Amino acid sequence: MLGVYNYTVILTYLGMLVSFFGISFAVGGDLRSALTCLMISGICDMFDGKIASTMVRTKAEKRFGIQIDSLSDLICFGVLPAMIVCQAASKNQWTLAISGFYLLCALIRLAWFNVDEEERQETTQQPRTVYLGLPITTVALLLPMLAGICGMAGWSLTWTAPALLLVMALAFLTPFPLKKPALLGKLGMLVCGAAGFLVLLVGVHP
């Protein structure tokens, strides 16, 4: 069988499958389930790199990990959020244009990241400490939080959700330095994610 199937890629595969179900929920109009799938995929992505670092991998396995992670991210944090926003914010020309632009920026960022990461690993085995631009996985925290807050406040997602995608799309390609969160930072993000999930449950109806 072509590919890698050890435990270092299990969370990546799982996150992609969860996002596939999320896309089907979004198409069916079940935004709460789709947003929940987005958050679960975000949790999988948060820890897949840490798990992968516990195993001594061959060069081919490392390169496969870089590629499969970005391919999965494009589905999880590119296609899925774009589909959610298209469904939640009425499929007018502006929503479609912004969602398409968001997806394009996500694609460009991930392709650039793959090249940059392969070059970086050729010179050092130390883990990455700084990102350039906003990681696309951030959408797994911000979009569900926005949807929940808008639901509780009675605000429409028709303009707020596309506006969020537009800002994030530009931030994906803007080369500002952003420190990669350590374990404590990831735990803080999990706490924020748990709070966001509660807001989502209260604010977004199935």
Six token digits for residue 90: 């009425």
State residue 56's pLDDT score.
Answer: 80
Task: Quote the percentage of the chain above a pLDDT of 90.
Answer: 51
State residue 192's pLDDT score.
Answer: 75
Across the range 186-194, mean pLDDT stands at 73
Kindly report the average pLDDT of the chain as a whole number: 88
The per-residue pLDDT for range 84-106, each reduced to its tens digit, is: 999 988 778 899 999 999 999 99
State residue 10's pLDDT score.
Answer: 92
Across the range 74-92, mean pLDDT stands at 92
The model's confidence at residue 206, banded by pLDDT at 50, 70 and 90, is low
Across the range 175-195, mean pLDDT stands at 76
How far apart are alpha carbons 167 and 1 in whole angstroms?
Answer: 41
User: Considering the entire predicted model, what is its pTM?
Assistant: 0.89
The dihedrals phi and psi of 177, each to the nearest 5 degrees, come to -75, 140
Residue 182 class from Cβ within 10 Å (0-12 exposed, 13-18 middle, 19+ buried)? exposed
State residue 128's pLDDT score.
Answer: 77
C-alpha angle with apex 196: 68 to 205, nearest 5 degrees? Answer: 100
The per-residue pLDDT for range 107-140, each reduced to its tens digit, is: 999 999 999 888 887 787 777 778 889 999 999 9
The per-residue pLDDT for range 30-65, each reduced to its tens digit, is: 999 999 999 999 999 988 877 877 878 888 888 898
The model's confidence at residue 166, banded by pLDDT at 50, 70 and 90, is very high
How far apart are alpha carbons 201 and 26 in whole angstroms?
Answer: 16
Query: Are 51 and 11 spatial neighbours (Cβ–Cβ below 8 Å)?
Result: yes
State residue 205's pLDDT score.
Answer: 65
For residue 131, list its beta bridge partners.
178
State residue 184's pLDDT score.
Answer: 67
Six token digits for residue 91: 């499929």
Domains of the chain: 7-203 (1.20.120)
